[in-house]
Amino acid sequence: MSEIERIMANAGDCFQGKPWYGTSTMSIIDMVSYSQVNIRPEGFSKSIAGLLRHMIAWRVFTIKRLRGLADFTIDAKSAENWNSSDVTEKEWKGLLKLLNKTQVALIDVLETLEINNLTEGVPGSIYNKDYLIRGIIQHDVYHLGQIAVLKDIIES
C-alpha cells in the first residue's frame, strides 16, 4: 500500500469507518438529531451546526488548495469560517449533503496525487500537501470531539 493509499484509508476510516480513536465522523453526526444542532449549552459559544459548518469550510479550503487554487482563502473572522446563526432543518440536511460531497471531493483529489506530490508546496501556503492533508483529518477529529461532547451535554 502506498503512502497516499494509507492517507486515503485513514481519511475514510475517520470519516465513515472504524478509526483507532473511536467513533467515526458520520457515526457521530448520524446520532445528532435536528433538535440538537442549534443548541449552545451554558458556557459554550458554538453549536453543533456551527462546528459542522466550520469543518466543511476548511474541507473546502483544503480541496481547493490541493487543486492549485492559491488565491482561495478563508478569513478567520468571517461568517464562512465561524457562522453562529441557527440553521433550519432544510439547511441542516444541506450541510449533511455538503459534508458527504466534500468527502468525495477530498478522496478524488487525493487519488490524483502521486507519492512525490506529498512533499510539494501547497500553492499560496508555506506548507506542503502532506501537512495540509494530515491537518484536515486532524482538524475534523478535533471538532468531532467537540460535537460529541456537545451532544452528550445536550442529552444529559
Tens of pLDDT along 2-42?
899 999 999 999 999 999 999 999 999 999 999 999 999 99
CA distance 130 to 115: 10
pLDDT digits (tens, 9 = 90+) for 35-82: 999 999 999 999 999 999 999 999 999 999 999 999 999 988 888 889
**CATH number of residue 130's parent domain:** 1.20.120.450
Classify residue 144 by burial, with Cβ atoms within 10 Å: 0-12, 13-18, 19+: buried
How many structural domains does the chain have?
A: 1
Residue 46 structural domain: 3-155
- C-beta separation of 111 from 8 below 8 A: yes
